[in-house]
Chains A and B, each alone.
Chain A
Amino acid sequence: MHTPGRCFISIFEDEVHHTISSSKLFFPGEKVAIGASGGKDSTVLASVLKTLNERHNYGLDLVLLSIDEGIKGYRDDSLETVKWNAIQYEMPLKVVGYDELYGWTMDQVVETIGKKGNCTYCGVFRRQALDRGAKMLGIKHVVTGHNADDVAETILMNLLRGDLARLSRSTSIVTGDATSDVKRSKPLKYSYEKEIVLYAYHKKLDYFSTECIYSPEAFRGSARSLIKNLERVRPTAILDIVRSGEDMARLVPVNTAKSCACKGDVAPAVVAAEEDGLGGCGSSNGRSSGNEMAAMEKQLRQNEAAEGLEVDVSKQMLPQAQRDKENVKTLPIRGVSANPKILGKQTLGNCERCGYMSSQAICQACMLLEGLNKNRPQIQI
């Protein structure tokens, strides 16, 4: 925000450079794909990375990577924007379609399963699309345009969902580790959305205002409106939430047992249609059919009924005496939690079929594909 114009531009660029260098995001000669949707975040990311790459000699080989869901007419405008960006920034552009990645375009999915629930497919497919696309191109690092507002939103959303595992994962600047094929990072993680808009404005960047035709999923929508209201009261609230989320991530008890999280504990009730709000049908969304919050409310009530309303008081209180003694830890040593409860922290493995990070043996996308492929012969008749 600070001072307008040129001064703002250089401050913003310095901030992003600081994030990149302090987190050691890149190494010289690294081939990096920028997830490009034509929206403001990814356009600003491409612009800033090009500038910083030249100014600070990162030595990066930058590529624009776009995903085409295969919805007739839907991507036309945004793909035009990305193509224009590619020319402006002199970066190679690779557009990968759902048909190449999954053997299905979204239009074909809708033909097969109907309009209802197709957002689930779109969301699940999109989550992996960039990684799969990068893998196809032999690129091991994808950067996305997630900003501080997105991260704060995801933190609040997962707090409302009671999903500490996701909360914990969503706060880190880099996801995916040595075992995964493709590393993901968010260089704009500490940049306010307002700064990004301002940067695009001052740099006169061309971007496509992607307003999604669908309303965002209930939790994200709820968290988003809350964040906007908090920001109005205290503009730094967004980064303050990011800070809180990073710290809370370190407090998530380490899961030692691998057993199911739903035993004796309130498990995350709804499987998120999407992990971290990467835009797809336009903006960051990926609505699941029906109301997620209502579904979760229902499940939580069932859990509560199963636990027995009356038992619950003593259950929560009794371990307290032990917790006072055992569950308090001394910084900075982090041991195994004394809390006997098993937390819903999923241990991430890899999908047996596609190799993508997954908490299950077979990832969600492959599960959905299996269902679709079973239907294929009938449809083609």
Chain B
Amino acid sequence: MVTKIEAGSQDSQPLQRPCKKCNNQEATLTSRTEPVCKDCFTQYIYLKCVRHIGLLGKETQGPYGSQPTRRYLLGLSLGTSSTILLHILNSYVEAALSKGRKSPLDLDIIVVDTSVSEQDEALQATLDAYRQRYPRLTFEVLPLTSVLGISSIDWTALPSLKQDQSPAQQLADLFERLPSTTSRADILRLFIRHILIHTALSRSCQAVLLGHSTTALAELTLAETAKGRGFSLPWQINDGVLPIEDFSPDPDNAPADKKRTIRVHHPLRELFRQELVTYTTLTEPPLTDIIPAEDVVNKASPVVSHRDLSIEEVVLRYFADVEVNYPSIVANVVKTTAKLDRLDAEERCGVCGMTLDELGDERWKGEIGDSGGGEEGAGSLCYGCERSVRG
């Protein structure tokens, strides 16, 4: 635990602005409108995350007497949130180890390299800094091209790949044929997700951990609503077990158990982006030392043109404004969406993997008079993926 309350202020000097939580130190920060000290603030962030991990631990408990070690995959985007998730989980494990206990969990830390190029020097330099900071941990880099052929995607539903080209060229070509910047950003996001889930499944990890803050989940909610994926929102926003479809063309090669599932969790889901940004400056040494500048990370995805804005970016700008004045409204968007039912069905979308909404599709086609795409005998896509792939 991070109970390193440093001697406090033993001197008899009365505090100018005592921390609302410990009443023992000078408040230098504001957390949810309350003045708090640095220690209480970092403790608050730490505990929010660790509680989630503790509860996830209970849910991923094996049968009685089995190996108690949990194995989770952490998707590291090298941004603020996922770096903090990594940092806190590392502290959590080290706290257990220092008490002579067993490690409560094993982490597979995966960075998806979206540069689609030979060698990304900026990425290498960044990873070196992470490795130096967390020498006990292993950081693995998977290229975006590793998505090619993944069985959780129905490749017949996407623009056909040029098999005679190199994997990097195939991918670049596929992205080029998508209709817009929003489509490319959307498919890129889904591909990264598929790589993480696929890797977790192949290594028998029990969960994929993502760094999304409340703010990020609220953005995802509005962006997915704007992309027509309202139906699968509760599946995307909530934590829990996700069924993963297998679209392998040859069923004999497919795993015997076609009903695969994986947990996807967001342990930082109750923290605001701004709180996390503050946190990066408060650790010793500050996490800002290793987190790369945003343009370094963004630059790394040339498959998405940055001349035009994507829907994600529009929503991001919008919430950046709203969060300043109305943080609770941001949080409420996520809570509201979480209340929606999750409907499940046999059929899944070939690109995002979410439940297909046949009822909704039928109704929509009836009302709009949409004949529907479905070129080249392609697989079934949800409304949002249909839009992303075919415009």
Contacts and interface: CB of A to CB of B under 8 A. Distances in A.
Contacts of A343: 339
A294 B339 contact: no
A281 B287 CA distance: 53
B34 to A, nearest CB: 9
Given A244-B228, A317-B51, A22 B329 contact: no
A197 B275 CA distance: 44
A162 B335 contact: yes
Contacts of B345: 330-332
A294 B52 CA distance: 30
A256 interface: no
A246 B239 CA distance: 24
A247 B33 CA distance: 36
A159 interface: yes
B364 A236 contact: no
Looking at A251, A253, A294, the one whose CB has the most chain B CB atoms below 10 A away is: A251
A320 B240 contact: yes
A162 B309 contact: no
Interface in B213-236: 221-222, 224-231, 233-234
Nearest to B340: A251
Interface in A126-168: 155-156, 159-160, 162-164
A234 B335 contact: no
B306 to A, nearest CB: 13
A324 B227 CA distance: 26
Interface residues of A, number: 64
Looking at B240, B338, B345, the one whose CB has the most chain A CB atoms below 10 A away is: B240
Interface of B: 32-33, 48, 51-52, 55, 59, 180-182, 221-222, 224-231, 233-234, 238-241, 270, 308-311, 314-315, 317-318, 322, 325-329, 331-333, 335-345, 355, 357-360, 363-364, 366-369, 383-384, 387
Nearest to A338: B341
B342 A329 contact: yes
Contacts of A164: 336, 339-340
A237 B221 CA distance: 14
Contact of B336 (A162, A250, A330, A337): A162
B33 A301 contact: yes
A358 B366 CA distance: 31
B226 A240 contact: yes
Contact of B51 (A155, A163, A314): A314
A247 B363 CA distance: 10
10 contacts: A190-B368, A226-B314, A226-B315, A240-B387, A246-B363, A246-B364, A293-B326, A316-B338, A330-B344, A339-B339
Given A226-B222, A233-B309, 14 more contacts: A18-B367, A159-B225, A190-B367, A241-B225, A241-B226, A243-B230, A248-B233, A266-B336, A300-B331, A309-B32, A313-B52, A314-B51, A329-B341, A341-B339
Interface string A298-331: 0011001000010011101110110110011111
Interface of A: 15, 18-19, 22-23, 155-156, 159-160, 162-164, 173, 190, 222, 226, 229-230, 233-234, 236-237, 239-241, 243-248, 250-253, 266, 293-294, 296-297, 300-301, 304, 309, 312-314, 316-318, 320-321, 323-324, 327-332, 337, 339, 341, 343
B31 to A, nearest CB: 9
Contacts of B59: 320-321
Given A250-B360, A297-B329, A330-B345, A233 B182 contact: yes
A22 B270 contact: no
A294 B326 CA distance: 7
Looking at A293, A320, A339, the one whose CB has the most chain B CB atoms below 10 A away is: A320
Main secondary structure, interface of B, reads: helix
B157 to A, nearest CB: 19
Nearest to A309: B32
Given A324-B240, A324-B241, A251 B343 contact: yes
A269 to B, nearest CB: 9
Contact of B328 (A234, A301, A316): A301
A329 B332 contact: no
A300 B329 CA distance: 7
B344 A240 contact: no
B222 A15 contact: no
Contacts of B326: 293-294, 296-297
A372 to B, nearest CB: 32
A331 B344 contact: yes
Nearest to A171: B230
Contacts of B338: 316
A156 B240 contact: no
A337 to B, nearest CB: 6
A329 B343 contact: yes
A296 B344 contact: no
Given A155-B225, A162-B336, A243-B230, A331 B329 contact: no
Contacts of A317: 51-52, 55, 239
A343 B337 CA distance: 12
A50 B167 CA distance: 58
Contacts of A301: 32-33, 328
A352 B89 CA distance: 58
Contact of B228 (A243, A330, A341): A243
